[in-house]
Amino acid sequence: MGTALVTGASAGFGAAIAAKFAGNGWRVIAFARRADRLAQLVERFGAERVHVAAFDIRDEAAMRAALAALPAGFRDIDLLVNNAGLASGTAKAQDSDLAQWRQMIDTNVTALVTLTRLLLPQLIERRGAIVNISSISGTHPYTGGNVYGGTKAFVTQFSANLRVDLHGTGVRVTNIEPGMAETEFTLVRTGGNQAVSDKLYAGAHPITDTDIADTVWWVANLPPHLDVTRLEMMPVSQSAAGLQVARDA
Ligand code: NDP
Ligand code: 8X3
């Protein structure tokens, strides 16, 4: 048992990961913007088990303040789960909105590296672990994946490079690369279009938030000599589409 900091703990994977760890004896620090959702974790598991901080993870000052304000029982972090993130938009690059691109970069990349850097000294001191939630979109290109996939390719390579820099420290780094999973992800990506979200997942038997929480739990609780360095996961219904050819273009 230890203390886990989970970003994006108000919904989807992050909420399920926070609940999995809090329900199994860990202390959990839960970050996200929606305070009402985070409060549900405290109601469910108690303030001695879950500490929440509601802020925008892109706001470095707010992040530093949240870390500085951790109560005594939550200061010794053993596990960082960098989960907060989003895709915004499905347009091709040439039709995309730059503001959406910046939001993805600021959240999925800049905030993730900032929090990681701030916590590295104590993770090293505690021989802790980092689990980064990347995506298959960082490896497999698809139409409209442009910057979202680019941010996740960054996360995947950052994870690999972190492992090298942390060589000999005992800190474990795991990059988890899920494929299609039904969460609020598509609602966020489409600006709240429930019909598109429902249609995407219908009949696909997508990955669930519980599948990811169980995986993070397994990875984090392996014996300390084992590091799952990267893990790609897809629903059985999903596979890579392959190459395309535009004739006489
Ligand atoms: P959800 O939309 O259900 O959850 C996203 C979480 O990230 C929410 O808790 C949200 O909290 C938080 N978040 C987003 N932006 C910010 C921000 N600026 N500041 C603080 N918190 C933020 O999506 P998922 O659970 O599916 O996504 C979790 C991670 O998994 C993401 O990194 C995503 O890219 C990745 N992923 C998702 C897949 C999928 O198919 N669903 C597949 C592969 C990877 P709030 O809005 O309250 O701030
Ligand atoms: C989310 C998975 O395939 O929708 O990261 O981009 S995918």
**Can you give the pLDDT at residue 132?**
99
- Model confidence, pTM: 0.98
pLDDT confidence of residue 1: 86
- The C-alpha atoms of residue 106 and residue 101 are separated, in whole angstroms, by 9
Domain contains 240: no
109 located within any domain: yes
Q: How confident is the model at residue 198, as a pLDDT?
A: 98
**pLDDT, position 21:** 98
- Please check whether residue 69 lies inside any domain of the structure: yes
User: If we measure between CA atoms, which residue out of 117, 46, 129, 32 comes closest to residue 81?
Assistant: 129
How do beta strands 50-54 and 79-82 pair? unpaired
- What DSSP letter does each residue of 143-176 carry, written as one string? TT-HHHHHHHHHHHHHHHHHHHHTTTS--EEEEE
Ligand 2 mutation target, pool 88, 155, 180, most atoms within 8 A of CB = 180
- pLDDT of 30 reads 99
Domain-embedded: residue 191: yes
Residues in contact with ligand 2 by the CB-under-6-Å rule are 135-137, 145, 179-180
Q: Which residues are catalytic?
A: 148
Domain boundaries, position 49: 3-233
247 occurs within a structural domain: no
C-alpha 25: how far from chain center: 21
Centroid of ligand 2 to alpha carbon of 131 (angstroms): 18
* Token pair recorded at residue 123: 């993770």
10-residue block means of pLDDT along the chain (249 residues)?
97 98 98 98 98 98 98 98 98 98 99 99 98 98 97 99 98 98 98 98 98 98 97 97 89
Let me know if residue 87 belongs to a domain: yes
Report the nearest atom of ligand 1 relative to the CA of 37: 47
Residue 246 lies in a domain: no
Q: Which atom of ligand 2 is nearest to the CA of 137?
A: 6
CA 223 to chain centre: 23
Q: Does the beta carbon of 6 sit less than 6 angstroms from any atom of ligand 1?
A: no
Closest C-alpha to 134, from 119, 153, 118, 160: 153
pLDDT for the residue numbered 241: 80
77 touches 119 (CB < 8 A): yes
Ligand 2 atom with the shortest distance to the CA of 145: 6
Q: Structurally, how many domains does the chain consist of?
A: 1
Nearest CA to ligand 1 atom 31: 85
Q: For residue 243, is it within any domain?
A: no
Do 74 and 27 touch, CB atoms closer than 8 A?
yes
pLDDT at 127: 97
CA atoms within 13 A on the CB side of 161: 8
